[in-house]
Structure 1
Amino acid sequence: MKNNLLQLFNQGSRNAVIVVLLAFIIYSCRTANDPTNPTDPSKGAETYNAEVALKWSEMSLKLIRQSPGFTPPVASRALGYAGLAMYEAVVPGIKTNRSLAGQLNGLKTLPLPETGKEYNWAASANAAQLFMAKNIWSNAPEAVKKTADSLATVLRASLSESSSQEVIERSEAFGNEVAKAIFEWSKTDGGHEGFNRNFPADYKVVIAPGAWQTTENGKAIPMQPYWGKNRTFVGANASMPMPPPLPISTEVSSPYFQQYYDVYKKNISLTQVEKETSVWWADDPSETFTPPGHSYNIARIAIKSSNATLDKAVEALARTGIAVADAFTLCWKCKFTFNNERPYTFVRRAIDPKWIPFWPAPPFPGYPSGHATQSSASAVALEAVFGTDFAFVDDSHVNRVRDTKRNVDFKARSFKTLWAAAEESAYSRFLGGIHTFQDNDTGLKEGRKIGQNINALQWKQ
């Protein structure tokens, strides 16, 4: 009997040890942002509203408008890094998501928060965005820089009401470290301070049949001819082949001729509604936040209309920023691979020598359409966050003064889906007389691939 009792006691002890070991293993495997982990007192990013994300994305658009040299390609790059920095400053607090470090081109590692310490993720994002505002937009006017400083101060004061000074300072330090690492990485992509070289004097304009020529804007050198050599954010996008345009021909029966004739025929018979569509999406860099800024603003609209919290907001802005950045890099690569002429040039030499398009032709090759490429890429990227049937109202330009030259008011536009907005953005360039159908169709197709490659990254745990 005594031996049997001893045997049961030993067996019970072993079972107890096993239970303790299992508990220890489970406890040790909890992630730092696991809300059940008592060593991590931070609130998850989903508990914060999107105010910081919305205020800073609005500031980024203001910086684009008011900083010299922020042409569409340069602006797209800025939004790519700003959106990424915001996301990476918050992602440790998003229990469902993971960092893009190790997934993007050349971005191997990023700073990590201290284990077991409390963080205010909105404060982290606030600090990261202030750093990017001062460094990506380093040539911004002093008045705008002061506005950015003031925004950071106001947000900090608000966030300090719910967190101690120690937590705020720790969070800000982390946000700064993340932003600094991303900014240092940005310097190696080929586009650093691109605002200083929009029209490089050393570029030799291609002279060949069907090649781009100076249009009514008078620019002898095209905008950012080397931009397509920049590093993309996503490796898969860098390896995308460049689809060739139709063979050049002035034969009336040729598909090439028909492409340009369709532009001419439509442009001389525009309805008032078609004029409004063209002008709404024009996003003239001298008057607006540029086409990539329009896409970034659509992300902001989606965030506001869906009452998204901070976690969803930063993911939406990161996806959109990367989408427009890679879209402009690849679109420009294609533009300067084929140097395809604008409708202005072809129509005047082969159809009507006095024709002037409804909208002035931008100073760079036509194929493919930058509007179509970036609108498509950003729409697909945003679909991963808000769905393929997300309806919204685009009010991006409702406060603009009437365009008296073209007799057009700026009225908000409603869309049943994000993709519908991308298609209208592309079509608007045909209505403006500056892009053919092949420019737009190719841009939409290539942009969709870019967006799909972005969505294929491992965003989730």
Structure 2
Amino acid sequence: MERLTNHFFRLCSIVAIVIVCGCSAGKKKIFAPQEVATGWADLSIYITKNTPSNSPTYASRCFGYIGLTMYESVVNGYPSYHSMAGQLNGLEALPIPETGLEYDWLIALNAGQASIIKRIYNQTSDENKSKVDSLEALFFEQISDQVDSEVADRSVMYGKSVADAIFEWSTTDGGHRGYLKNFDKNLKLPTGEGRWEPPLYAQSISHYPLHPHWGDNRTFVAKNSLIPTPELIPHDTTPGSPYYTQFIEVYEKDKALTQEEKEAALWWGDDPADTFTPPGHSYYIATAVIKAKNPELIKCAETYAKMGIAVADAFIECWKWKYEHVSERPSSFLNHHVEPGWVSFWPDPPFPAFPSGHATNAGTAATILIYQFGERFSFTDSSHVGRKRDEVRNVDFKPRRFDSFWEVAEETANSRFYGGIHSHYDNEVGLTEGARIAENVNALIWKNE
């Protein structure tokens, strides 16, 4: 595990100060409701990064259930907001508060987050589970200080009952404990011209494709499962054809990469072996926005629920389309038709190309944040600052400045082109379809207008 000063923990987050470093005896910090929400988000991101056998697919699913639990643990305290029970795919009902009894919704949120994180990341270390317990105890001690003990106990039980119900629903989605079946060694994919093949220069030691059945999982939003499969450019190896040209563009860019483009390629790589994964990066950005905007608690929870649900559905749909097309990476085409032995700047991930998963996730995340906070938002992404310099590629991890959410999405998508693992078309379709997935999430009835 990297030191506290690295990555997103360079920020003085609650989790970094209290859970990782500890705090001085006798000093009691008073946490605002928003800090409780972002504190749990920080810890969710940390556990995602520091749990073995993780993947972008599985991590996206975890954020879906973690974010939804945060929202559902508090939504009944806000009369103008609506539960997702009866709106999400197969989620018919959730526990509801007893009429006439008092609840403390922040205590319920605290208990619900602790419960869902430990259950959804059951495979994480005992050390990480202890961090969850410590954060829950820290927040509870402060919040319950001014709350009647019966109300506090009732609120804890309610938050945990919501988490338990959501977890039980999660076990039926097709992705339960998906980290135990990352690769299907018995799968026979179609082969031949234009088809994906295991790369020699790979991001993973496995030459089997990652989660080939992930697209069969239940989406959170039923409408997302009905989105038509996007069309692939027809296969044609004739020089000058659209299919040929998309890969020549990758080839030419690889020979002319600027230092800034190399930095972008590595920044957005978000390799699950070293980072919090692409969906974790989206959750991180949502957290940065919430810390800057400081909205009321329900909007914090709504944002995390929307982000989690949307990126989870984005990976289900993207993976469904990937394994319907089983399309080749630029490395395969260029090695067979342009330059034998060609190697991409960034190693190939272990799954088919079209459409780009990074772009799909990025288009989804940006669309959620634009809906929640507006298009324009200036911020610096420091999530990877402190990572060890990549000596092989001559790249340092420097902060990246953005002035809009869609600018983040476009750079994320372009980074895969700079890395030599996706064509522009892969990215363009990913951004478009990702936005469509998010729009279906935004269209749910979240609150009275």
Q: Output the TM-score relative to the length of structure 1.
A: 0.88
1-side partners of 2:151 and 2:369: how far apart? 32
Structure 1 letter corresponding to 2:36: V
Match in the other structure for 2:109? 125
Which is further off, 302-311 or 325-334?
302-311
Alignment of 1:93-132 (within 5 A): 93-132=77-116
In the alignment, which of 161, 181, 199 is matched to residue 165 of structure 2? 181
Equivalent residue in structure 2 for 1:72, among 56, 59, 67:
56
Instruction: Report the equivalent of 2:443.
Output: 456
The residue aligned with 2:348 is: 361
Give the structure 1 partner of residue 255 of structure 2: 268
Match status 1:437 vs 2:424: yes
Residue 404 of structure 1: how far off its partner (Å): 2.2
Give the corresponding residue for 1:212.
196
AA in 1 matched with 2:212: P
For 2:320 and 2:198, locate their aligned partners in 1 and report how far apart those are by CA, in whole Å.
19
1:342 and 2:326 aligned: no
From 217, 225, 239, give the equivalent of 1:230.
Answer: 217
Matches for 1:58-457 after TM superposition, within 5 Å: 58-215=42-199, 216-217=201-202, 219-457=206-444
Q: Deviations over 1:400-448 (max 9, x none)?
A: 2222222222222122211111111001100010000110000011001
Q: How many residues are matched?
A: 415
**Could you tell me which residue of structure 1 aligns to residue 24 of structure 2?**
none
Query: What is the CA-CA distance between 1:158 and the residue it aligns to?
Result: 1.3
CA distance in 1, matches of 2:110, 2:296: 15
Distance 1:80 1:285 in 2: 17
Distance 2:155 2:188 in 1: 49
Shift of 1:309: 2.7
C-alpha distance after superposition, 1:318-346 (max 9, x if no partner): 11101110000000000000000011111
Could you tell me which runs of 5 or more consecutive residues in structure 1 were left unpaired when the two chains were aligned.
1-46
1:55-96 Cα distance to aligned partner (Å, 9 max, x none): 111111122112222100000000000000010001112233
SS at match of 1:347: helix
Q: Which runs of 5+ in 2 are unaligned?
A: 1-30
Residue identity matched to 1:234:
V
Q: Is 1:48–1:309's contact at 8 Å kept on the other side of the alignment?
A: no
Structure-2-length-normalised TM-score? 0.90
**SS of 1:391's equivalent?**
strand
Partner of 1:4: none
CA shift at 1:118, angstroms? 1.9
Counterpart secondary structure, 1:353: coil
CA shift digits 1:17-39 (9 cap, x unpaired)? xxxxxxxxxxxxxxxxxxxxxxx
Q: Separation in 2 of the partners of 1:267 and 1:69? A: 31
Rounded to whole Å, the distance in 2 between the matches of 1:206 and 1:389 is: 44
Q: For CA contacts below 8 A with separation 6 or more, give which structure has more relative contact order.
A: 2
In the alignment, the residues of structure 2 paired with residue 306 and residue 362 of structure 1 have an alpha-carbon distance, to the nearest angstrom, of: 35
Secondary structure of 1:404's partner? coil
Greater CA drift, 49-58 or 386-395: 386-395
Task: Pick which of 424-433 and 388-397 moved more.
Answer: 388-397
Structure 1 runs of 4+ off > 6 angstroms? none
Distance 1:190 1:307 in 2: 36
Give the whole-Å Cα distance in 2 for the aligned partners of 1:366 and 1:238: 20
Question: Which one is further off, 360-369 or 214-223?
Answer: 214-223
Q: Distance in 1 between matches of 2:229 and 2:340?
A: 32
Distance across 1 between alignment mates of 2:45 and 2:433: 25
Q: How many angstroms apart in 2 are the aligned matches of 1:427 and 1:274?
A: 9
SS at structure 1 position matched to 2:220:
coil
Deviation at 1:48, TM superposition (A): 5.5
- Other structure's SS at 2:74 match: helix
Stretch of structure 1 that moved more, 369-378 or 112-121: 112-121
Question: Percent of counterpart pairs with the same letter?
Answer: 48
In 1, Cα distance between equivalents of 2:132 and 2:32: 21
Q: Is the 8 A contact 1:319 1:382 kept in 2?
A: no
Distance of 1:433 and 1:133 partners within structure 2: 35
Larger displacement relative to structure 2 (242-251 or 288-297) = 242-251
